[in-house]
Amino acid sequence: MTQTLQAPRVSATKTPDRPHRLRSIPRRTLVEVGGSAIAAVCVVWFSFTVAGITGPLGFGFCSIAAFFFIFGVLNWLLHGVLAMKDRLATFAIWTGALVALVPLLGVILYVVYKGLPVVAADFPSFFVKDFNGYTASAPVTAVGAGAAIVGTVEQVGLATLFTVPLGILTATYLVNFHNTLSRAASSVVDAMAGSPAIIPGLVVYLLWVRPQKEAGQTGFAASLALSIMMLPIVTRTAQEVISIVPGSLKEAALALGSPQWRSILRVTLPTARVGLVTAVILGIARIAGETAPVLFNAGGNASYNWNPFKGRQDDLPLRVYQMIFQPGVNATRDAWGVAFVLVLVVIALFLMARVIGSKTPGPRRWTVPWKKFESSASGDST
């Protein structure tokens, strides 16, 4: 009598293995955190009172340090060394994130607090009018940031148009080739990334603006200076993104007979597209609020100038810089309104870049027309 071996049955509804994530913080952990925080504040307050030390900043830093010490010792005694290290690392990451985000949110909220009433005073005229009719006694509703918005969008757009192809090509070359030229180019990129904003502005001013005198101050000249500032950020970030693309994808493309340039265009760059969009966002964030390159090369203009290749052009950071030196309270209020508009423009650019980068790479459905023919043929046969 023979016996047949059967394979063990696998449930079709079995879900794949996933790491266990806690959806909520246990009550015991909350008690430990809260107790450690209260103990740390009490200890620091008592120490400062006895020593006669005052200062909210020092009190905050000492309270954080005391909390980490007390919380670490408590977890070591209750849960062991591994749990202590894990929880201390978690709280250190969250503390660093809060330390970085709180000042940023504070600045943005303060700009909104000071600038929103100016923009909303005669909405939406502040987005349409220019500063052509500005006087020391003019109300805030008589002027607007329309001309500065046009100048900022055109200058940043031209700088992005100049920089993105060159930066991505440079990053691709630095990743795929290792020779004397690539090492020299990498050194130049590092030197450009560390240079202050005034250097690109002076370079473009001396080589482009000054030989043409007043006719050289244009939005195009400002975009050249901004593109020089944007280039090292885009190049270095894109280089890091392209270098982490899996080598198996490149090897598969080469094994199928694709030349290197085609594998880069059809495999490497589409795979790293989201990271490349992030590189562009970082570059835009670097140049959107710069004043010195625009001051030297665009010159500023109170009226509209839709042509960035002819005549002086306004810019949002430049307009803020010029208005804070004007006499009168209304000039300062106008500067806050323009700063609020600058924040809105930068956020809008970031959202556009995120929407573009969120799309999945690869061919879209309408690019394969035989799918439609196959579905129609199967429908006819039935």
> Quick one: average pLDDT of 1-10?
49
- What is the tens place of the pLDDT at every residue in 249-305? 878 887 888 787 888 888 888 888 888 888 888 888 888 888 888 988 888 888 888
Inform me whether the pLDDT recorded for 365 exceeds 60. Answer: no
> Bridge partners of 299?
313
On average, the pLDDT of the chain sits at 82
- What is the tens place of the pLDDT at every residue in 94-120? 888 888 888 888 888 999 999 998 888
Amino acid letter at 345?
V
Helix (H, G, I), strand (E, B) or coil at 109: helix
Q: What is the sign, positive or negative, of the torsion defined by CA atoms of 192, 193, 195, 197?
A: positive
Percent of the chain with pLDDT over 70: 86
- What is the tens place of the pLDDT at every residue in 205-227? 999 988 887 788 899 999 999 99
Question: What pLDDT does 369 receive?
Answer: 45
When pLDDT is cut at 50, 70 and 90, the band that residue 24 belongs to is low
Inform me whether the pLDDT recorded for 86 exceeds 80. Answer: yes
Domains present along the chain, CATH in parentheses: 27-116 (no CATH), 140-363 (1.10.3720.10)
Tally the residues of the chain. Answer: 382
Opening angle at CA 80, ends 79 and 82, nearest 5: 110
When pLDDT is cut at 50, 70 and 90, the band that residue 331 belongs to is confident
> Quick one: average pLDDT of 176-197?
86
pTM beyond 0.85: the answer is: no
d(Cα 184, Cα 182) in Å, to the nearest integer?
5
Report whether 149 contacts 341 (CB < 8 A): yes
Helix (H, G, I), strand (E, B) or coil at 233: helix
Q: Which of 287, 292, 172, 176 is nearest to 233 (CA)?
A: 287
